[in-house]
Amino acid sequence: MVLVWRNHIGVRSYMYSQHEISAEEHVDWYDKSIRNANHHLLIFEVDNEPMGFVKFIKNEHSLGADWGFYAAPNAPIGMGRKLGHTALSYGFGKLKLQEVCGQALIHNDRSIKMHLALGFKQKNLQAKPYFDGKNHHQVFAFSMLSQDWMQSNSN
């Protein structure tokens, strides 16, 4: 299911790696991820229906993590923001993260808007654009601290 979602053109066109991922590549990625205690792979569900994927990759030398996410291609409008809110509650609560960092390619308006709506602070564009083998893409970086999340969600 996650591989089908990830290979959907509406998802992969916003990823660093935009080629269609083979089953072998996917299994290799999954095997490496579940063997790494710093990787947390999550399926977001609503009423027992899978609606998206989230990953947190904890930094080895800090209490922070990088995150990535996508809603299922058939998820209703607005599900991405619910996924983000739920995932951040999990990251700052259960995982006890002090910072969550994210990135979005400059053409991924929905991810950029979602990060900002969730309360992330936008950092500068990354100094070195991402090269996908054909084109260079500017990348926005985002960061949210635990205390900012707790303060904005205490009401």
Cα 151 versus chain centre, distance = 22
Interstrand relation of 39-46 and 136-137 (parallel, antiparallel or unpaired): unpaired
* pTM given for the model: 0.89
Contacts of 29 (CB under 8 A, 6+ apart): 21
The residue range of the domain holding 19 is 2-152
* N-terminal to C-terminal alpha carbon distance within the chain: 36
Q: What CATH number does residue 123 fall under? A: 3.40.630.30
Beta bridge partners of 52: 44, 71
What's the number of domains the chain is made of?
1
pLDDT at position 120: 96
Per-position pLDDT tens, the chain of length 155: 999 999 999 888 888 788 899 999 999 999 999 999 999 999 999 999 999 999 999 998 889 999 999 999 999 998 999 999 999 999 999 999 999 999 998 888 989 999 999 999 998 766 677 776 777 778 899 999 999 999 988 75
pLDDT at position 14: 81
